[in-house]
Structure 1
Amino acid sequence: MRFTIACPHCGARGIARAMEKESDTAWMIDFQCDDVTCGHTYRTRLEMFPPETPIPKRERRDALQFQFNV
């Protein structure tokens, strides 16, 4: 899979060429325009925002709790 994003200069497809990890949740990505007459290069930042509080795990239910009336 390729990361693509529109070129801010001409609007053509820009393809990710390099990725630099800044932290566990942030990356800097270098893009290059796919239009050879433009050739613009640009940098973007991708950052994930995990939930502030961890989602608690639910206790596993026993199979006996799933009894059906037959």
Structure 2
Amino acid sequence: MRFTIKCPHCGARGIARSIEKVSPTSWLLDFQCDDVTCGHTYRTQLDMYPPETPIPRRTRRETAALQFGE
């Protein structure tokens, strides 16, 4: 899978070239414009929210024993 974001300089497709993990829920992504005449590079930040509240695990349901012909 390839991360792409529109280039803020010319509007062409920008492709993620490197990803740097800053924290367990935050990354810095470096993009480069796919248009060779532009070649603009730019950095974005990707954060997951809410970073401090994980999704609670559901308790496992007990399975009922199936009784055939009793």
Asked if Structure 1 and Structure 2 have the same fold, meaning a TM-score greater than 0.5 normalized by the shorter chain, the answer is yes
Supply the RMSD in Å over aligned alpha carbons: 2.1
TM-score by length of 1: 0.79
CA 1:53–1:25 in 2, change beyond 3 Å: closer, same or farther?
A: closer
Partner of 1:10: 10
Q: Is the 8 A contact 2:20 2:29 kept in 1?
A: yes
Matched residue pairs, number? 66
2:46 counterpart SS class: strand
Gaps of at least 5 residues in structure 2 are 66-70
1:57 counterpart = 2:57:
yes
Q: Which has the higher helix share?
A: 1
Residue 49 of structure 1: how far off its partner (Å): 1.1
